[in-house]
Amino acid sequence: MTAWNGNRRRIHIQEVGTRDGLQAECTFVPTEEKIALIDALSSLGLAKIEVTGFVSPKAIPVLADAEAVMKGIRRVPGTVYSALVPNVRGAERAIDCGADEVNLVMSATETHNLANLRMTREQSFGGLREVAALARGAGVRVNVSLSCAFGCPMEGEVEMATVLDWAERFHTQLGADSITLCDTTGMGYPTQVNTLVRAFRERWADAALTLHFHNTRGMGLANVLAAIEAGADRFDASLGGIGGCPYAPGATGNICTEDTVHALELMGYDTGVDLAGLVAVSRRLPALLGHDTPSQVAKAGQRLQLHPAPHDLEAIRARAEARI
């Protein structure tokens, strides 16, 4: 099985722009605009939408309206509406608002976990255990995300064994319904991605696995294809490619949803996503955010959106032929 030909294989595309993307923005996008954005995305065939994060409004003011957004959106059957939750309080809020899934996060490295979450990894894991139990009790799905699974911006390389050990604990001790391996700062490269996903699949052939790539160093799509060839079929992506990285000012963020769908559909994969609709929604982002986005397809158009020939083509041809 080669990644170069999709052969109608199903690839699940999960939108994270409304949480991971907006969280990285300085501007507060008005609640009704967030809801309109998510409602527009809901009808386009995405497998999952990370709607918001039930985080501290003081820590992340741009997501302070999590309740209003989660309650205000229109739910389309077949789409999973997920929310990031950092702790029990967040999980309670998410469950109250009827989230289908809670997304729990910790880092693969001690330094990144301490720097980002102000806890040791074991403390984070202990917290996630409580959150997972609460969610499971409420009949809400649990996804656990491991940050820095492909490298840590402060510690450097992350051993594959470390990643697999945490995945093991997420499965057995947290009862995770699904796991996301996150390339938080765009350090993953195709050889590594292919090897790690292959190792994951050897251990858990059928476990739900998401790959979360950033395009920080331009390797996003190549990493997606390397992962597919190793047996992955779920990918996070962000509308417009929004969601920057604090360690790389000016660099691009998450892999771009429409660019990813555009490439995969051309290659014969079945994403189930309405690409034209996606591009139309993405083109609303610059006005909403006050800046350009990294999306390529939103700018260049789809591959076969052609341009007119010069209006005087026949005159050019006549002049050319007269020259001989």
Which sequence positions are flagged as catalytic?
245
**Rg of the Cα trace of the chain?**
21
Size of the site for a second copy (CB under 8 A): 72
Window 59 to 88, contacts with a second copy (CB under 8 A)? none
Spatial CB neighbours of 252, under 8 Å, sequence gap ≥ 6 = 214, 215, 216, 218, 220, 241, 244, 294
Read off the amino acid at residue 16: V
Among 251, 272, 283, 284, binds a second copy (CB under 8 A): 251
> Which is closer to a second copy, CB of 98 or CB of 268?
268
Window 168 to 197, contacts with a second copy (CB under 8 A)? 186-187, 189-192, 194
| Least distance CB 32 / a second copy (angstroms) | 29
129 is a contact residue toward a second copy (CB under 8 A): no
249 is a contact residue toward a second copy (CB under 8 A): yes
Nearest Cα residue to 42 out of 77, 70, 69: 77
Kindly state the tokens that stand for 46.
């995405």
Window 257 to 286, contacts with a second copy (CB under 8 A)? 259, 262-263, 266-268
Q: Could you say which DSSP state residue 95 is in?
A: H
For residue 300, the SS3 value is helix
> Which is closer to a second copy, CB of 66 or CB of 237?
237
Cα–Cα distance between 196 and 21 in angstroms, integer? 26
Cα–Cα distance between 47 and 175 in angstroms, integer? 21
Which residues on adjacent β-strands are paired with residue 81?
Answer: 49
> Cβ(264)–Cβ(6) under 8 Å?
yes
Rounded to the nearest 5°, which phi and psi values hold at 311? -60, -25
Among 24, 154, 160, 164, binds a second copy (CB under 8 A): 154
The two most distant CA atoms of the chain are separated, in Å, by 83
Cα–Cα distance between 112 and 114 in angstroms, integer? 5
Nearest Cα residue to 40 out of 260, 294, 258, 280: 280
Among 32, 157, 168, 270, binds a second copy (CB under 8 A): 157
> Which is closer to a second copy, CB of 43 or CB of 191?
191
| Least distance CB 75 / a second copy (angstroms) | 31
Among 47, 70, 128, 225, binds a second copy (CB under 8 A): 225
| Least distance CB 89 / a second copy (angstroms) | 16
221 is a contact residue toward a second copy (CB under 8 A): yes
> Which is closer to a second copy, CB of 52 or CB of 185?
185
For residue 182, the SS3 value is strand
Among 248, 277, 283, 284, binds a second copy (CB under 8 A): 248
Window 298 to 317, contacts with a second copy (CB under 8 A)? 299-304, 306-310, 313, 316-317
Rounded to the nearest 5°, which phi and psi values hold at 57? -65, -25
| Least distance CB 110 / a second copy (angstroms) | 8
Cα–Cα distance between 81 and 47 in angstroms, integer? 9
Q: Could you say which DSSP state residue 150 is in?
A: T
245 is a contact residue toward a second copy (CB under 8 A): yes
89 is a contact residue toward a second copy (CB under 8 A): no
> Which is closer to a second copy, CB of 30 or CB of 156?
156
The interface region with a second copy, picked from 2-10, 64-72, 75-83, 201-209 by CB under 8 A, is 2-10
| Least distance CB 40 / a second copy (angstroms) | 22
Among 31, 56, 87, 123, binds a second copy (CB under 8 A): 123
